[in-house]
Chains A and B, each alone.
Chain A
Amino acid sequence: MSLQLRRKTHESVVYIDSDSAPRVMPSGEDFILEDLPIGTRVIYPKPPIKGLPNREAAIRYALNHPHDCDPLFAQLYPGMKVTIAVDDISLPLPPMATPDIRQTVIEILAEMLSGHGVDDVHIIIANSLHRKMTEWEMKRMVGSKIFDEFYPDRYYNHDAEWPEGLITLGHTKHKEPLRINRRCAESDLVIYVNINLVPMDGGHKSVAVGLCDYESLRAHHEPQTIRDSDSYMDPARSELNHKVGRLGKLVDEHMNVFHIETAINNRMYTGALDFLFKNEDDFTAFDRMKFETIRRTMSKLPRAARRKMLHAMPAQYEMIACHAGRTEPVHEKIIEKGFDQYAIPIKGQCDILITGVPDISPYNVYSILNPLLVQVMALGYHFNFYRGKPLLKKGGVLILHHPCYDEFDHNFHPSYIEFFNRLLPETRDPFILREKYEREFANNPSYVEMYRRGNAYHGAHPFFMWYWGENGRQHVGRVIAAGAENAHVPAMLGWDRADNLTEAIAMARSHMGRSAEITMLHQPMIGIADME
């Protein structure tokens, strides 16, 4: 048995044996050490693919050798109207060390545009219904040279609630409407600069979702689409992706989009936190020292300070591919590269899936991972990181580790608070929530103003977060929040709670049987379980 367990199926898959070291797992802003039952399968992220040695050269090559269209320089002429649209702060995670890839791309573009006599250039952040980025974040993303030249008149956030700033492109054959940023729609050329972190990103989603309004978004950000996506991290089997693809065709009919997509490796942290990606059995004394230092330091700090400290550590991602040209062929190439980095072949589903929820999500950059975001990370993202079939058997138990504190950011997530406290006690049914309350929240003048003039997520955003967890909720038999510091947050979300992981595993085994197969996702990780 032991020998069989130790036999490696893949470099990212490790089985726990009688002499295995305890595993490090994140739980919100903390890192804890947990002994796992013998036989537990632990899935680690794949080792990072080596980054391209010359990022600038790769970008220039892509611009000059695009897929299915003329090179960018051949499309430029003096006096034309060009808009550069860029991904917002939700990508990559955590925000990457400067210079951001977007800075490099935009600096090259600005130079090329100016060299061809193109002066009418705007840079728009495709934040859709996400919060608008702050001035500081905008500067950090593109660097001071671009910022000083374009901000604030020609470098700004997309506003999905500005009627004059939007224009209707039409409807798909399935009656899905598309209302989009007017400046982009009226430009002679839109250049989209993307960073692809997970397979759900990029492609037609960039323009058709990133620059649309609420009514356009609600056509596909809805519970049935999510239920029909198996999973939304697998573009071929994602209904969400199919719907967005239809909208993308509409975009291509009306607009000239030159797409620049980049793929990055998964080198999330180096230096002080690199032990997070190592097999604990291979820890050196120095790794153990780093872990203990971090853990002890963190334990002495209040939660807000721990959060601040974690958010201050930028990711060390490297670009591994850059393609440009028409949206679909470009996206295909980038997705292929992304799967090279992320896909981990896994044989066999499990009965119990364990995942620590770190303080990292697309929606809490420099903010709090509130209960709805814990939900979306566990049942949305972590559950959906598969291709083929879910890692967890139907009716299995998902154990997540997080304190589940009842804390919300009043500036970034005001409508989440009302959603959590007013709506969830009434119903958790996403269809009822959508029909009864979604529009009320979306049109609440206070939330609209906070989105437009402040840095709040759109009033309807918590609904999308709830729908995002829908196929996880449908699939999982029971969710146990281990380490939850209160009882009411797990209860409101429809979960059980346990004081610690050991208790949670015991509860899960009482549900699934003593011989239940256990798998743990070694977080933080970005990886796709490629199920055989």
Chain B
Amino acid sequence: MAAAAFYDLEGTLVSTNLVHTLGFYAKNQQGLFRTFKKSASTLLSIPIFAATDQYSRKVFNDLFFKRYKGESEDRLRFFAEELFEGVLKPAIFPGTFELIEKSRSLGLRQIVVTGALDLSVTPLMKYLGIEDYVANRLEFVNGVATGRLLPPVLAAATKASWIRTFAEREGLSLSDSYAYTDSMSDLPMLSVVGHPAAVNPDMRLKQTALHHDWPILNLK
């Protein structure tokens, strides 16, 4: 039976996180004043983001993606390539290529399951040669972001349920599949596969991985 390798993206395969992407867009606003205002407010929000992320990934998402409210879809798409070249590409961990290559050589399907925005990760996925990926999608009304995400919002348990549904649909054996993530919030994703691994883990995930005897990788 076929199997897959499921990867979280930010912090796992690349060193950036959602705030880097938001910061990039904030820096590239129309006009100096707007750029300054958006950048300053993003900077000031960082402690709030950090605190809410510790509390709940859902609350964090609700708060975080509101920062995109009012952004035009065209503009976000236009800057996606630049975001990839300037921010994401240099942030790819050196071990990422080896891990994907080894995994691919075993005939495993390569699937990225990320809470980042789809339009920002598309160029990176192309670069890594990953065809199957699922990411969060902003809701746009008349081409303008509302600051809400379209369901299903990929975070924590939703990632795991998406993986289950996907595996069932594609005929993949989850017990022969692998999952890689850096964050404790993705514990459900690690729990549904037969070969979970913590990658560059935070303290809580590292402790959990040690308790469960999961491999701990450092791709840095």
Contact = CB atoms under 8 A, between A and B. Distances in A.
Interface string B94-112: 1100110011011000000
A449 B197 CA distance: 11
Nearest to B220: A453
A411 B216 contact: yes
B213 interface: yes
Contacts of B178: 445-446
A411 B105 CA distance: 25
A450 B215 CA distance: 8
A452 interface: yes
Contact of A446 (B94, B105, B210, B215): B215
A51 B98 CA distance: 47
Contacts of B210: 410
Given A445-B99, A445-B106, A448-B102, A408 B219 contact: no
A443 B102 contact: yes
A275 interface: no
Contacts of A444: 195, 215
Contacts of B105: 443
A418 B178 CA distance: 14
Interface string A436-471: 000000011111111011100000000000000000
A411 B217 CA distance: 9
Interface residues of B, number: 21
A454 B199 CA distance: 12
B213 A452 contact: no
A131 to B, nearest CB: 14
B5 interface: yes
A421 interface: yes
A410 B95 contact: no
B95 A449 contact: yes
A414 interface: yes
Given A452-B98, A453-B219, A446 B213 contact: no
Contact of A443 (B5, B95, B106, B217): B106
A453 B218 contact: yes
Contacts of B99: 445, 449
Contacts of B94: 453
B206 to A, nearest CB: 9
B5 A408 contact: no
A454 B217 contact: yes
Contacts of A453: 94-95, 98, 217-219
A531 interface: no
A449 B213 contact: no
Interface in A141-181: 161
A103 B21 CA distance: 50
A417 interface: yes
Instruction: Report, as a range, how many residues of chain A touch the other chain.
Output: 10 to 19
Nearest to B197: A446
Nearest to B209: A410
Nearest to A459: B215
A161 B106 CA distance: 14
- SS class of chain B's interface: helix, strand, loop or mixed? mixed
Contacts of A417: 213
Residue among A410, A447, A449 having the largest count of chain B Cβ atoms under 10 Å: A449
A456 to B, nearest CB: 8
A450 B213 contact: no
Contacts of A449: 95, 98-99, 102, 217, 219
Interface in A227-241: none
A445 B95 contact: no
Nearest to B217: A449
Nearest to A162: B98
Interface string B188-220: 000000010100000000000110010111110
Contact of B213 (A411, A421, A443, A445): A421
B132 to A, nearest CB: 17
A450 B216 CA distance: 8
A299 to B, nearest CB: 28
A410 B195 contact: no
A411 B214 CA distance: 11
Contact of B217 (A161, A408, A421, A450): A450
A450 B195 CA distance: 14
Interface string A383-411: 00000000000000000000000001011
A447 B195 CA distance: 11
Nearest to A444: B195
B151 to A, nearest CB: 32
Contacts of B217: 446, 449-450, 453-454
B112 to A, nearest CB: 15
Contacts of A454: 217-218
A448 B218 CA distance: 12
Interface in B5-32: 5
Contacts of A445: 5, 99, 102-103, 106, 178
A492 to B, nearest CB: 14
A189 to B, nearest CB: 31
B98 A446 contact: no
Contacts of A447: 215
Given A446-B195, A452-B98, A418 B5 contact: no
Interface string A403-434: 00000101100100110010000000000000
Nearest to A411: B216
Contacts of B106: 443, 445
Contacts of A421: 213
A449 B217 CA distance: 7
Contacts of B209: 410
A335 to B, nearest CB: 39
- Most chain B beta-carbon neighbours within 10 Å: one of A161, A408, A445: A445
B81 to A, nearest CB: 30
A414 B102 CA distance: 18
B213 A418 contact: yes
Contacts of A411: 216
A330 B96 CA distance: 44
Interface in A73-114: none
B180 to A, nearest CB: 8
Interface of A: 161, 408, 410-411, 414, 417-418, 421, 443-450, 452-454
18 contacts: A161-B102, A410-B209, A410-B213, A410-B216, A417-B213, A421-B213, A443-B106, A445-B5, A445-B99, A445-B103, A446-B195, A446-B197, A446-B215, A449-B95, A450-B215, A452-B95, A453-B94, A453-B95
Q: Which 6 A/B pairs are nearest by Cβ-Cβ distance?
A: A446-B215, A446-B197, A445-B102, A445-B103, A417-B213, A414-B215
Given A418-B213, A443-B102, A445-B102, 10 more contacts: A410-B213, A414-B213, A417-B213, A445-B178, A449-B99, A450-B215, A450-B216, A453-B94, A453-B98, A453-B219
